[in-house]
Structure 1
Amino acid sequence: MKMAAVDARFTRAVEPHRHELLVHGYRMLGSVHDAEDVVQETMLRAWRAFDRYDPARASVRTWLYRIATNVCLDALESRRARPLPSSAGPPFDDPDAPFEPAAEVPWLTPFPTDPDAQAIERSRLRIALVAALQLLPARQRAALILCEVLDVPAADVAESLGTTTAAVNSALQRARSRLARAGVDPEAAAEPPAEQRAVVDRYVTAFQRADVAAITALLAADVVLEMPPMRNWYRGREDYAGFMRRVYRERGARWRTEPIWANGEAGFVAYLDGMIHTVQVLTVERGLVTRTTVFASAEVFALFGAPAELG
């Protein structure tokens, strides 16, 4: 009976934090499945230490984040970073270049989200930001996420990481510099969901009509198109348009789509001749598409519960 009471007390204490721990694990590791493993291991470690937890020293949330961060750091000792093609090599300059698959690379995967989530969560899950975080050394990544994404004081982060406040501040400075060089602002806000969806709906209409001119009119000048697990990626309207002409030349125009949300951004599942083809996530800024990330793997399709075939 006593054990049952402890179980109930533990569950009441930790369950409200499960989703944000999943998001934290995803930001650190770039994979929903890896993040789920982090949550499970965090809960296991927390259960084992629950009788020693002192609420006078830290809130349950802070205590869980401390455990989860160290679970992530342990995982990163044996796992490779999860990049996107745009951070793994230079852009391709030929839209008709042969595809270069890299199935051996553990690519970043998208995170299904609710468009009604708080604006701050949507902003801090943007694909560009999560991808840039993967470029940072593990402890710099942890320091930046805890301090700037989760607003944890540097002194508390130092305690979590077993280091000094000065070391945390130094790591933050280096991390900010690296993100700036990648052109990513961790404080930037995602566009409102309605405005994103309006642009993406116009893109989808053009996409299904194979109207490359209409697609191009919706693109920012320095738009990025990438397609993990292919190394091929392109920058700029001209190469983007050239690649889309290739798609319609080789695949035809028999496309259907279903809307999705991922990383706080609007997107769609693309079906060709009724069969699932890709999950596409679009970043919208000031009414234009600045990035299209196209995922083509069974793992990603499963994340969104997308059927393999449309009726």
Structure 2
Amino acid sequence: MTEVTLARAQAGDGEAFSELIAPHRRELQAHCYRILGSVQDAEDVLQEALLAAWRSIGRFDGRSLRAWLYRIATNRCLNFLRGESRRPHLVDLANPDTGSNRSARSDEPWWIEPYPDDLDDLVPGPEARYDTRESIALSFVAGLQHLPPQQRAVLVLRDVLGFPAAEAADILGTTQTAVNSALIRARAGLRPERDLHDVPAPKSPAEAAVVDRFVSAFESFNLDELVAVLTDTARLTMPPEPLEHRGPQPIARFLLESHAGQALKFFPTRANGQPALILYLPDPSAPLWRACGLIVLTLRGDRIHALTRFADVGLVGRFGFPRALPRN
């Protein structure tokens, strides 16, 4: 940020304002996504925050543009979460089969969405407890959604972004004592999986080999191979559906039975810093492949520990894929 650019923005120059915020926009979107769990909600709230920043740039004191933008974005997220009526709860199923390992009620927030980026180039502050890979993982973002909004915001500001307690308190308009207290409660309430020592490195041959095994077994409808690539404690969730499947046999049978008699086409991509697959199915009435959704994979060693399947075909566009492909 230069004083000249700031002066131009405060004088009403929209291009100068865009120049000021451009280096921060991507990290602000990720910040809103972590707090809200939905890419669409995050983008909507970020637009509101940037509009508010434009309207109030004349009152910015010039000290820390990044902290000032985070203050506006964080408070817009908290305002959104206060209006929980925008997220009505799904109607519970009458009799979920909780007595077997086939299905159980999922605690996954139904509004959770995959984030189409690795965020490899974002560097957390020196006081951060999570690296970027951990803090964008789907399980971490889902875990955040179970915390009260204020605790959620405090944990992200302190442990993900590494803001000092005094700066986090200033962003939230509260005291350091309140921030420290909320952080203790948030850490106690958050139980994301942090064991990354047995996870293949992102985009490594080891990671690709696991994904290839899964795709090969799925495309060939090989039950034994599909079971073999899943861990003993694997689980499949399908937001916004309220049920999950647990165990390699139930998961493999569910996947194969869901697509019995169909050809499958997979395209690899990445979501939340994890390997993911776009699934296409043949259109029975036209020579086309139709997008069927996206599967995000969580790996442990040389097997898959969790699968999160999103059936919303509108998501594929965010990952740069079309809804339909010609079938030759």
Partner of 1:16: 23
TM-score normalised according to structure 2 size: 0.80
- Evaluate the alpha carbon distance shift between residue 32 and residue 83 of structure 1 in structure 2; reply closer, same or farther with a 3 A threshold: farther
Checking the alignment, whether the CA contact within 8 Å between 1:220 and 1:290 is kept in structure 2 is yes
After superposition, residues 109-148 of structure 1 pair within 5 angstroms as 109-114=113-118, 117=121, 120-148=131-159
Q: Pick closer, same or farther for the CA change 1:65–1:306 going to 2, 3 Å.
A: same
Q: Secondary structure at the match of 1:39?
A: helix
Q: Report matched runs for 1:1-311 at 5 Å.
A: 6-56=13-63, 59-79=64-84, 93=100, 95=102, 107-114=111-118, 117=121, 120-180=131-191, 183-185=192-194, 191-193=200-202, 194=204, 195-248=206-259, 251-273=260-282, 274-311=289-326
Query: Gapped runs of 5+ residues in structure 1?
Result: none
Are the counterparts in 1 of residues 119 and 132 from structure 2 also a CA contact under 8 Å?
no
Residues 143/204 of structure 1: CA separation in 2 closer, same or farther (3 Å cut): same
| Contact 2:36 2:42 survives alignment (8 Å) | yes
- Matched residues, number: 295
Q: Is the 8 A contact 1:81 1:135 kept in 2?
A: no
**Aligned partner of residue 17 in structure 2, secondary structure:** helix
Greater Cα shift, 105-114 or 25-34? 105-114
Cα RMSD for the two superposed structures: 3.1
Q: Deviation at 1:155?
A: 1.6
User: 1:265 Cα deviation (Å)?
Assistant: 0.6
Q: Answer yes or no: is the 8 Å Cα contact 1:123–1:190 preserved in 2.
A: no
Question: Using the alignment, how far apart are the partners of 1:19 and 1:151 within structure 2?
Answer: 17
The letter of the residue matching 1:287 is: D
Q: CA deviation at 1:188?
A: 8.4
Contact 1:122–1:190 under 8 Å retained in 2: no
Q: Distance in 2 between matches of 1:50 and 1:271?
A: 46
Q: Which has the higher contact order (CA 8 A, sep 6+)?
A: 1
In structure 2, what is the Cα distance between the partners aligned to 1:46 and 1:189?
A: 43
User: Which segment drifts farther, 270-279 or 300-309?
Assistant: 300-309
Question: Could you report, residue by residue, the CA deviation over 1:268-309 in whole angstroms, capped at 9, with x for unpaired residues?
Answer: 111122322221010112222111000001332332243232
TM norm structure 1: 0.84
SS of 1:230 mapped into structure 2? coil
Q: Distance in 1 between matches of 2:17 and 2:324?
A: 43
State the 1:135 CA deviation. 0.6
Structure 2: runs of 5+ lacking an equivalent? 1-7, 91-95, 124-130, 283-288
